[in-house]
A and B are shown apart, each in its own frame.
Chain A
Amino acid sequence: MIVRSFRFVDLETPVEYFNTWLTPVPHFFVRNHMHEPSELSADDWRLNVGGEVEKPFTLSLSELSKLETHSVVNTLECAGNGRSLHRPQVPGVQWGKGAVSTARFSGPRLRDILQRAAVKPTGKHVMFRGLDEVPGKVPPFIRSIPLEKAIDSDTLVATHMNGAPLTKHHGFPARALVPGWIGAASCKWLTEIKILESEFVGNFMSPGYRFPNQPGKPGEAVKPEDTHPVTALSVKSVISGPLDGASLKAGKVAIHGAAWAGEADIVKVELSTDGGTTWNPARLGHDQAHYAWRLWNYDWKAKGGDYTILSRATDSQGRTQPSTPVWNPSGYLYNAPDQVKIHVA
């Protein structure tokens, strides 16, 4: 894994690992804003559900595990994936291309838990609080999602990942799983679900995780009132091979990678081997699920020379990766076409 930081733990998946539809858990990227909980006990863990509800209650892990389980294959991507590629550069973890991975998440539906609590008509947003340990006077990592997304049949309180209990890095014993949305929506080490009348007010809702309403000039400040919360992921593709800087022999070269689009489906991935002048369709892999990436590949007969290879994806909402990314002060949602430079001998 690429070590962006050990304290806090921020580990990036090398792109050459994007060769399986489901990412093995040890290779699944890790993003923490705070220290991981120093003590976690399955026996002592509790999930408190309250706020704008008729019947607040508390669940133990054994009680949670008795609820009906549902599985969702989801591509989870950090909103800041690709931040290091923005110009001018912006502060934050300098992710390359690998703050994204795919897993099968399982656990009770959040809506089943909310139904049991009986949300009042005044309840419009669902807040998640985790057990992260907050240093200094740093604001706690608390965020909320709108009720409509919370009661979607695929939004989970996940306890398992690829068939095994969550590991500590990924939120043991339970995390929110908000499919198709930025990773920050899927709060780890979940311990409280609170129904609110309005969006949670806190640093990680505003000014954090907000995007300009209109693309501005790179480097220019954006007024808070001209922004909106970052929610669903953009359409995006990454080339997992050949790697940038590779030197290859002339002949058949397999170009491959992954493409995803948050709540939309990938309908097309195109490859350019001439720096973006001409584009050809790649083959999409068989494995697919609504919120999961599609692997893709393209067979290229390479002649000697230096090449810039690009990939770009199009989704079911008609979105295509833009030729230039939308710069924003926090470096979110970078999704310009991916590119690698290679030499063919």
Chain B
Amino acid sequence: MSHSLTSNRPTPWTVILRRSIAVALGVIAFALTSTFAASQKAAEDLPAGPMQAKATTSCLECHEARIILQQRLSKATWTKEVDKMIKWGAVVDASDHDPLVDYLSTNFSPEQPAYEAPRSAVEKASGQKRTK
């Protein structure tokens, strides 16, 4: 038995197709919204701790927190980095130097799991598909 193409009553296949399209659109909308939210987040915060506020003031004047969040360094290397940044203009009180190094080397040591970098909306907007 065939279905009339002019019938106003949806066939079961049409219903399935419409539902599938609605679900697909919902998934796409959610994906785009999520990506937009992630990529448009102006800045991530440094982790909580006694030096969070001072590190924010000293370090984020010139660059965003992600530059720090992605590092996994030993205490000796963090010390060199902090000293270099002070030379380059970061304002760190002498009494805050060691606590700042402790804060950074505790939160961003090689033992910490790797930082997961976000993706920007450019990728989604390009229409390229991932092959994975």
Contact = CB atoms under 8 A, between A and B. Distances in A.
Interface of A: 1-8, 11-12, 14, 16-17, 24, 26-27, 84, 88-91, 93-94, 135-139, 241-243, 245-246
16 contacts: A1-B122, A2-B118, A3-B119, A6-B42, A14-B119, A27-B122, A27-B126, A84-B114, A89-B73, A91-B71, A93-B70, A94-B71, A94-B72, A136-B89, A138-B62, A243-B131
A16 B115 contact: no
Contacts of B87: 137
Given A16-B128, A91-B71, A135-B62, 9 more contacts: A3-B117, A3-B120, A4-B66, A14-B119, A84-B70, A84-B114, A136-B61, A137-B88, A243-B130
- 7 closest A-B pairs by beta carbon, nearest first, are A136-B89, A137-B89, A243-B132, A135-B62, A94-B70, A241-B131, A7-B64
Contacts of A7: 43, 63-64
A93 B64 CA distance: 12
Interface in B102-124: 110, 114-115, 117-120, 122-123
Of the listed residues B72, B87, B119, B132, the one surrounded by the most CB atoms of chain A closer than 10 A to its CB is B132
Contact of A136 (B70, B90, B130): B90
Interface in B29-65: 39, 42-43, 61-64
Contacts of A26: 122, 126
B81 interface: yes
A339 to B, nearest CB: 15
Interface string B12-35: 000000000000000000000000
A136 B126 contact: no
Contact of B130 (A16, A24, A138, A139): A16
A342 B115 CA distance: 22
A1 B119 contact: yes
A6 B90 CA distance: 19
A89 B132 CA distance: 27
B88 A246 contact: no
Contacts of B64: 5-7
Given A4-B117, A88-B74, A136 B88 contact: yes
A66 B1 CA distance: 74
Given A5-B66, A135-B61, A136-B61, A16 B90 contact: no
A1 B131 contact: no
Contacts of B128: 16-17, 27
A139 B85 CA distance: 11
Of the listed residues A17, A93, A94, A243, the one surrounded by the most CB atoms of chain B closer than 10 A to its CB is A94
A119 to B, nearest CB: 34
A91 B74 CA distance: 10
A245 B132 contact: yes
B123 A1 contact: yes
Contacts of B115: 94
Contacts of B118: 2-3
A136 B91 CA distance: 10
